[in-house]
């Protein structure tokens, strides 16, 4: 390869991280009834980069998602409940979860759920300043999934810990992925501080809204124990559960 070509490649890599704001931000949202607004810090650019935090606010549709980290949670039971209620979900997984839970991953896929990318090492994507390392956080997960299932992962990405920057969103879009944040989440992931059934049901059902992207953590014992009741109640209120593949186009 010519030296000039190598220089061009290096410059391209540098420019990838030099044109946009690299300040690390934390995802949050402001809800007022069915109206959900993004963080003020990113409101001016969030929609430029195939980023979703809510679907159609005019339709009673909920997109159910779960984050899977390194831990072994209650996913098998959750899958039982989803199957009984005919509800699709998206499971965002890190590479070690695929390695340690191949049968669960294959079951998710076989039962029609989306197995989506949550990175290899669960870092703040905003802090990765090397484009090759940034890309590897996606590619290594996809490779592990493809080796297991023979398929590429769906092109949905959830930034670990909800940390992002304008630059990281841009780089994610450039990889062909949609960034999926959420319009509902609550403190459900601390295993030794699980909320009561009553608190969790009131929180989840009471905050339901049109187009909701719901984030739950599969490590939550409470979530698992109330999930069947929650799904049935939300359906009785007229909500439908849809796959992320049915998000409205931008």
pLDDT tens, residue by residue, 78-90: 999 999 999 999 9
**Structure confidence at residue 183 (pLDDT):** 97
Residue 110: exposure state from Cβ atoms within 10 A (0-12, 13-18, ≥19): exposed
**Structure confidence at residue 10 (pLDDT):** 47
**Structure confidence at residue 9 (pLDDT):** 44
**Total domains present in the chain:** 1
**Structure confidence at residue 223 (pLDDT):** 96
**Segments of the chain scoring below 70 in pLDDT:** 1-18
Kindly report the CA angle at 161 between 86 and 74, in degrees rounded to 5?
A: 40
**Structure confidence at residue 72 (pLDDT):** 78
Range of the domain at 176: 3-246
pTM value surpassing 0.75: yes
Q: Which of the following is catalytic: 67, 113, 118, 209?
A: 67
**Structure confidence at residue 32 (pLDDT):** 85
H/E element, 157: strand 156-157
**Structure confidence at residue 122 (pLDDT):** 96
Q: Which of the following is catalytic: 113, 122, 209, 217?
A: 217
pLDDT tens, residue by residue, 92-118: 999 999 999 999 999 999 999 999 999
- Asked if residues 91 and 108 have their Cβ atoms less than 8 Å apart, the reply is yes
CATH code, 144: 3.20.20.370
Of the candidates 135, 122, 126, the one whose C-alpha atom is nearest the C-alpha of residue 177 is 135
**Structure confidence at residue 18 (pLDDT):** 55
**Structure confidence at residue 196 (pLDDT):** 97
**Structure confidence at residue 19 (pLDDT):** 75
CB-based burial, 206-216: b 16+ in 10 Å, e otherwise: eebbbbbbbbb
Phi and psi torsions of 148, nearest 5°:
-80, -40
Is residue 217 among the annotated active site residues? yes
Taking phi over 0 as left and psi of -120 to 50 as alpha, with beta for the rest, 15 belongs to: alpha
């Amino acid at each position: 390869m010519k030296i000039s070509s190598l220089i061009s490649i290096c410059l391209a890599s540098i420019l990838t991280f030099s044109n946009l704001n690299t300040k690390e931000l934390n995802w949050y949202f402001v809800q007022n009834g069915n109206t959900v607004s993004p963080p003020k810090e990113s409101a001016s650019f969030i929609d430029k980069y195939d980023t979703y935090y809510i679907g159609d606010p005019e339709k009673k549709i909920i997109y159910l998602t779960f984050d899977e980290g390194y831990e072994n949670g209650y996913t098998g039971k959750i899958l039982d409940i989803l199957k009984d209620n005919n509800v699709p979900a998206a499971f965002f997984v890190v590479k070690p979860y695929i390695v340690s839970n191949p049968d669960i991953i294959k079951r998710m896929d076989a039962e029609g759920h989306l197995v989506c990318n949550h990175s290899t090492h669960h870092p703040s994507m905003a802090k990765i300043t090397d484009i090759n390392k940034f890309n590897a956080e996606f590619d290594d997960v996809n490779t592990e999934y493809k080796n297991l299932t023979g398929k590429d992962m769906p092109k949905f990405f959830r930034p670990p810990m909800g940390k992002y920057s304008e630059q990281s969103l841009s780089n994610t879009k450039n990889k062909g992925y949609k960034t999926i944040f959420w319009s509902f989440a609550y403190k459900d992931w601390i295993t030794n501080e699980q909320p009561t059934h009553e608190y969790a049901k009131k929180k989840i059902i009471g905050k339901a809204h049109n187009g909701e992207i719901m984030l739950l953590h599969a490590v939550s014992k409470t979530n698992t124990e109330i999930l069947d009741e929650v799904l049935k109640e939300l359906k009785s209120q007229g909500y439908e559960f849809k796959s992320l593949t049915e998000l409205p186009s931008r």
